[in-house]
Structure 1
Amino acid sequence: MYNSKITGMGYFVPDNIVTNDDLSKMMDTNDAWIQERTGIKERRWIKEGSGETSASMGAKAAKIAIERAGLTKDDIDFIVFATLSPDMYFPGCGVQVQDILDMPTIGALDVRNQCSGFIYSLSVADQFIKTGMYKNVLVIGSEFHSGGLDKTTRGRSVSVIFGDGAGAAVLSRTEDNTKGILSSHLHSEGKHARELVVEGPSIAHWVPEILEANDPNDTSYYPYMNGQFVFKNAVVRFSEAIIEGLKANNVEASDIDMLIPHQANLRIAQFIQKKFGLSDDQVYNNIMNYGNTTAASIIIALTEAWEKGKIKDNDLVVLAAFGSGFTWGSVIMRW
């Protein structure tokens, strides 16, 4: 059996920086309120009219990842694209990237697991490689949140959190079973689906109904989050997923060289760091600069940490996420 390892990474974020002070001009909020609750100082939002999309950002990140892997677009065997903000209701962004990058007619799969999307996508790509089906799989996480947020005081508890951006990784076959992805662990609990949700448009709240009602108070197509409930579940599930991964590989928390948590809320990451007794050098956070980029957050952070020399050969790297669904999971890898 083969192993899979990351051979190239890249990310792309829009140039447009939106600070907390900028948001205070749109809604009743302020920098201190946002930082105290989320740790976020600024985020990137796509400028209206720029033409940028989830697919286009994902393609830009993918180009960097493929080049850093020492490959060409023709060497990629399969695409896995994670997003909750696709350019179109269907088809998915994976096929758009295949077209944008002018790749061969390889398969493309979209994963809709929101904040856990990149973890799930890595797991899928890892299994394709471990079974021998593919040699190089392109995994992308990309989000265009800003176009779908309620940027009024009504929506401030959610809208201040999210940012736009994309990251990509090339997962490649290796015969060294001591390196690469050692294990992945995935979970869900659908009974809490409506605690973090966008309900429409959907088959239960479809376009004609929305158009006919034309109700300015209909918030079903804006994100809803029961913040305190999500936070309480997140800190529990994050911990469980990490512990599960460590036990599966017979290692301890002290063996972790780098933990990359999904960038949902800095307070969650700090809670997890303290619980596992990790130093600042063992955890990488960048939510203060980008906000929550959902499926893109882990790969953007992982790429930044690697670029800064914080991840080295043979390091034990742990990725963990929790989000809407509820879904959560972890990936343990030896760099």
Structure 2
Amino acid sequence: MYNSKISGLGFYVPERVVTNDDLSKVMETSDAWIQERTGIKERRHVEGTEDTTTSMGVKAARIAIERAGIEKDKIDFIVFATLSPDYYFPGPGVLVQRDLGLPTVGAIDVRNQCSGFVYAISLADQYIKTGMYENILVIGSELHSRGLDMTTRGRGVSVIFGDGAGAAILSREENPQKGILSSHLHSEGQHAEELSLIAPGMGKRWVLDILKDNDPDDTSFYPYMNGQFVFKNAVVRFSEVIKEGLAKNQLQPSDIDMLIPHQANLRISQFIQKKFGLSDDQVYNNIMRYGNTTAASIPIALTEAWEEGKIKEGDLVVLAAFGSGFTWGSVIIRW
């Protein structure tokens, strides 16, 4: 059995900065209202059609590949996590294979929303641990801005989300004490509709039904979130899955050098930080600059933390996420 390690990281966000004051010009909101509820000051939105979920993922991937010090042809497999694919099908994994000009390697898409990158890392880790692959490209990328209700009606959700992508190269590690030590995944589908986008889908609301009805009050094709319910579940599941990972490896919260939580809401991160008795230097947050980028949030934050020298060799790094599904998970890494 091999271990896997993160050998390269990269991220990309669109140039266009959308501040809270910008949003207050198109909906009834304010900088103070948004910051008080989410901690967000600004986010990035794509401009025109230049950036797509795939193209942002490719840009992040190129950086990660270069930093891993490998030729792109050494990538054996692609795992792409997103809730906002370019097409209904095929998924963006194969588009990345095409756009990077890779050999005919396998590609798989992960649809676990906010937990997507944690699930994707866990999946890639297992492929490497069993010896099947040596270098795997893992991407989390999201383009939310084109699908948000940018009116007062939708402000509870629309002020939260931003666009961006992050990528990691997972490579074989022979030292069992280094790299990904364990991953822990969970789901609770009974709450699926509490954070969801119902249409278009093959269930009750297909795109032709939406066009036929032409109902201006139909919000089924916009994201819905029961905010307070999601918050209450998130703080419980975050805590549980971090404890689970630490216990599996006979570690304590004080052993954590860096916690990278999914950037859903600054208040959730602060709650978890306080619960585990962690200092500001032990938790990395960037939601104030990028908003919630769903599957991209952890790889963007992880890359920034590494770039800023906040993650060093030998550090214990914990990734943790909770989101739609409900799904949640954690990954324990010895850097």
Bin of the TM-score, shorter chain as denominator length: over 0.9
Find out whether 1:288 has 2:288 as its counterpart.
yes
TM-score, normalising length from structure 2? Answer: 0.99
In the TM superposition, what whole-angstrom CA distance separates every residue of 1:55-92 from its partner, at most 9, and x where no partner exists?
00000000000000001110000000000000000000
**1:78 & 1:320 partners in 2: Cα distance?**
24
What amino acid does structure 2 have at the position aligned with 1:268? I
What amino acid does structure 2 have at the position aligned with 1:191? Q
Q: 2:105 — aligned with what?
A: 106
Q: Equivalent residue of 1:28, what SS?
A: coil
Q: 1:217 — aligned with what?
A: 217
Find out whether 1:44 has 2:39 as its counterpart.
no
TM-score, normalising length from structure 1? Answer: 0.99
Shift in Å, 1:216: 1.3
Q: 1:322 — aligned with what?
A: 322
Q: 2:146 — aligned with what?
A: 147
Q: 2:94 — aligned with what?
A: 95
Q: Equivalent residue of 2:162, what SS?
A: coil
Q: 2:72 — aligned with what?
A: 73
Q: 1:86 — aligned with what?
A: 85
Find out whether 1:171 has 2:170 as its counterpart.
yes
**2:109 & 2:216 partners in 1: Cα distance?**
32
In the TM superposition, what whole-angstrom CA distance separates every residue of 1:227-250 from its partner, at most 9, and x where no partner exists?
000000000000000000000000
**2:153 & 2:242 partners in 1: Cα distance?**
35
What amino acid does structure 2 have at the position aligned with 1:133? M
1:207-286 maps to which residues of 2 (within 5 A)? 207-286=207-286
**2:50 & 2:234 partners in 1: Cα distance?**
34
Shift in Å, 1:50: 3.6
Shift in Å, 1:207: 1.6
What amino acid does structure 2 have at the position aligned with 1:301? A
In the TM superposition, what whole-angstrom CA distance separates every residue of 1:130-149 from its partner, at most 9, and x where no partner exists?
00000000000000000000
What amino acid does structure 1 have at the position aligned with 2:60? A
**1:196 & 1:252 partners in 2: Cα distance?**
32
For the aligned residues, what is the CA RMSD?
0.4
Q: Equivalent residue of 1:241, what SS?
A: helix
Identity of aligned residues (%): 76
**2:106 & 2:246 partners in 1: Cα distance?**
33
**1:287 & 1:207 partners in 2: Cα distance?**
32
What amino acid does structure 2 have at the position aligned with 1:158? V
Q: 1:63 — aligned with what?
A: 62
Moved over 2 A (4+): none
In structure 1, the gaps of 5 or more residues are none
What amino acid does structure 1 have at the position aligned with 2:118? I
1:24-35 maps to which residues of 2 (within 5 A)? 24-35=24-35
**2:70 & 2:54 partners in 1: Cα distance?**
21
Aligned residues: 334
What amino acid does structure 1 have at the position aligned with 2:156? S
Q: 2:159 — aligned with what?
A: 160
What amino acid does structure 2 have at the position aligned with 1:105? T
In the TM superposition, what whole-angstrom CA distance separates every residue of 1:32-74 from its partner, at most 9, and x where no partner exists?
0000000000000001x24210000000000000000001110
**1:239 & 1:222 partners in 2: Cα distance?**
30
Q: 1:332 — aligned with what?
A: 332
Shift in Å, 1:214: 1.1
**2:179 & 2:161 partners in 1: Cα distance?**
30
Q: 1:300 — aligned with what?
A: 300
**2:295 & 2:247 partners in 1: Cα distance?**
26
**1:219 & 1:108 partners in 2: Cα distance?**
33
What amino acid does structure 1 have at the position aligned with 2:91? G
**1:193 & 1:216 partners in 2: Cα distance?**
25
Q: Equivalent residue of 2:138, what SS?
A: strand
In structure 2, the gaps of 5 or more residues are none
Q: 2:185 — aligned with what?
A: 186
- Greater shift, 213-222 or 2-11, is seen at 213-222
**2:207 & 2:302 partners in 1: Cα distance?**
38
In the TM superposition, what whole-angstrom CA distance separates every residue of 1:294-334 from its partner, at most 9, and x where no partner exists?
00000000000000000001000000000000000000000
**1:302 & 1:35 partners in 2: Cα distance?**
23
What amino acid does structure 1 have at the position aligned with 2:318? V
